[in-house]
Amino acid sequence: AGLDEADEAVRGTCEDASVCKRFAVSVGYWKDPYIQYFVRQAKERKAPEINRGYYARVHGVSYLLKAFLKKTECNCQIVNLGAGMDTLFWRLKDENLLPRKYFEVDFPMIVARKIHNIKSKPPLSKPIMESHSGESLLIDSHSLDSSRYSIIGGDLRFSSDLEEKLKKHNLDIQLPTLLITECVLVYMTPQQSANLLKWAASTFPVAMFINYEQVNMTDRFGQIMIENLQRRQCNLAGVEVCKSLDSQRERLLLNGWETAHAIDMMKVYSFLPQADVKRIEGLEFLDEKELFEQLMQHYCICWASKDSSNLGLASITF
């Protein structure tokens, strides 16, 4: 596939992620009253393995994120890179856990769609207005800037551009900053993701990075996953970093992060509170235990920190 086609396929993954999340929400895995405003309901049911996997993904990321919010007492920023149609801003507001400012970055085309949804749906626009104070809110087709929430159209493969745009939206590099990439880095070359990680580590003196993506891709099951994605013309330029938990950790440590962890999603699943496990396992019958375990062993959460003001970010773990 040509470069534009490949980018187009990558943008399509954003739709996929949200459709799957919306489906799992509709079955009752977790609550998200906002996702319905961003994507259609799935045409067919998603397999229970997929729904459980998404539950662990959303829970896992949110667990680490809340630990960060606690350590910083919400006196921080969150930068969600490749955020797609993520609804985190609205969910954090409902829980009274908004950071000082929440930023999102994605391709301009995705951002335009998100802003269109926000503009046309009051349940999305109202919370932004409510949390806004001061001068008038900036909103055009490719970016939105309010006091607590900002969306930026850009390409994560060009980090100097990115910094400039974020700064225009009042990014404060001195604030403790959490950066998130959920299923994003695999679409960039190892060099490009290394540059992004290096940029983040060298820009923010106090920061945490959370990355969710594929791992153990060199075995048979991993190869099948890759073939499936390639069949949809997705450019998995970064898949070589997804070979092991070690290579995931190493990438973080080699690019300026002080501490780094990586665990597979089966491990994350084993850390879920027993009551949650009981509840979600009761939602749908899962026949293929082995398939579920295989799937979960092929995704991971990685997190890293650097902490010059000793907030205790290094001790964040499951």
| Residues of this chain that bind ligand SAM (CB under 6 A) | 10-11, 13-14, 17-18, 82-84, 86, 106-107, 110, 155-157, 182-184, 187-188
Shortest Å distance, C-beta 211 to ligand SAM: 11
Specify the residue, 76 or 183, whose C-beta has the smaller distance to ligand SAM.
183
Q: How far is the CB of 119 from ligand SAM (least distance, A)?
A: 19
Closer by beta carbon to ligand SAM, 36 or else 147: 36
CB of 236 to ligand SAM, least distance (A): 11
Beta carbon of residue 65, minimum distance to ligand SAM (angstroms, whole number): 13
Cβ distance to ligand SAM smaller for residue 26 or 147: 26
Q: Which is nearer to ligand SAM, 59 or 307 (CB)?
A: 59
Q: Which lies closer to ligand SAM via its Cβ, residue 184 or residue 311?
A: 184
Residue 125 CA to residue 129 CA, distance in Å, equals: 6
Handedness of CA 312, 211, 69, 82 (dihedral sign): positive
Kindly state the smallest distance separating residue 13's Cβ from ligand SAM, in Å.
4
Give me the least distance between CB of 156 and ligand SAM, in Å please. 4
Select 157 or 198, whichever has its Cβ closest to ligand SAM. Answer: 157
